[in-house]
A and B are shown apart, each in its own frame.
Chain A
């Protein structure tokens, strides 16, 4: 597979922009939710350990 055909696949024709926009937003939302929840859980655990 050469570089041109890779770019061709990734750009997905005329509407590739919309698809990529949705992909990026989806993974931003999912990723930030997971990171946020993990951080909250870790913080809560730390707090409990400090108190106990």
Chain B
């Protein structure tokens, strides 16, 4: 039953057909939705009592840092599917998540450090979250360069998936240990966690922007998977008919 499902719907061909039909509308929809969430967050919410207007970066920073981690987990799931069921499509999706994840993680770091200038007075703090996000960013880049370094892409897929799985086991360990490490620097602990609980007026647009951002990024992943499928299945016969 599961096998049948995989063979019918999870072949690169049918995925491409579905993505070709619905990919762009979905992307445009979530793009507009996210735009709306931003307009709501930027112009129709009151300024924060402590941080003033600079807190509005939250509507971009929080979704990005959330997705930075979620994308790695999704990549691990597709990699596991690839290694267990030898499903090519899963490997393609996995591989095309990596650059998107790197971009999102970079943006999370960037927006965080810009946010730091007005609120903390410094653009970088060696705090636990920032450090582990930076490590995550380097891991994405390592995965990309691992995949790029092999001529034989079938092998590259396998190595990539193995490394993603080791990585996903390690990420909680890294996060925990970095948390543990950062207690060394108790004097400099201006973290986001110590912030008072957020007001509903700001929470609703924030949740709205997170949801829209998730959709937007998955739209990007679909687009990037389409690109990967075309690149890898160039010489298959079904590609001729699109």
| A residues lining the B interface (CB < 8 Å) | 9, 12-16, 18-19, 21-23, 25-26, 29-30, 33-34, 37-38, 40-41, 44-45, 47-49, 52
Q: Which of B54, B115, B226 has the most CB of A within 10 A?
A: B54
Cα distance A25–B40 when bound, in Å?
Answer: 19
Cα distance A29–B216 when bound, in Å?
Answer: 13
User: Which of B103-111, B131-139, B165-173, B184-192 interfaces with chain A?
Assistant: B103-111
Chain B 48-68 interface 0/1 with A at a Cβ cutoff of 8 Å (1 = within)? 000111101100110010000
Cα distance A39–B51 when bound, in Å?
Answer: 41
Q: Is the CB of B107 within 8 A of A29?
A: yes
Contact-size category for B: 35 or more
Q: Is the CB of B60 within 8 A of A26?
A: yes
Q: Which residues of A contact B163 (CB under 8 A)?
A: none
Q: Is the CB of A18 within 8 A of B239?
A: no
Cα distance A18–B52 when bound, in Å?
Answer: 12
Q: Which residues of B contact A16 (CB under 8 A)?
A: 53
Q: Dominant SS at the B interface?
A: helix
User: Which of B72-80, B197-205, B227-235 interfaces with chain A?
Assistant: B227-235
Cα distance A37–B220 when bound, in Å?
Answer: 9
Q: Which residues of B contact A14 (CB under 8 A)?
A: 52-54, 118
Cα distance A26–B57 when bound, in Å?
Answer: 11
Given contacts A9-B43, A22-B61, list 11 more A-B pairs with CB under 8 A: A13-B47, A14-B54, A14-B118, A22-B110, A22-B114, A26-B111, A29-B107, A40-B227, A44-B227, A45-B242, A48-B234
- Is the CB of B195 closer than 8 A to any CB of chain A? no
Q: A13-B47, A44-B234 are in contact. Are A18 and B57 (CB under 8 A)?
A: yes
Task: Show 17 A/B contacts (Cβ-Cβ < 8 Å), sorted by A.
Answer: A14-B53, A14-B54, A18-B57, A18-B118, A22-B57, A23-B38, A25-B110, A25-B111, A26-B60, A26-B107, A29-B107, A30-B220, A33-B103, A33-B220, A45-B230, A48-B230, A48-B234
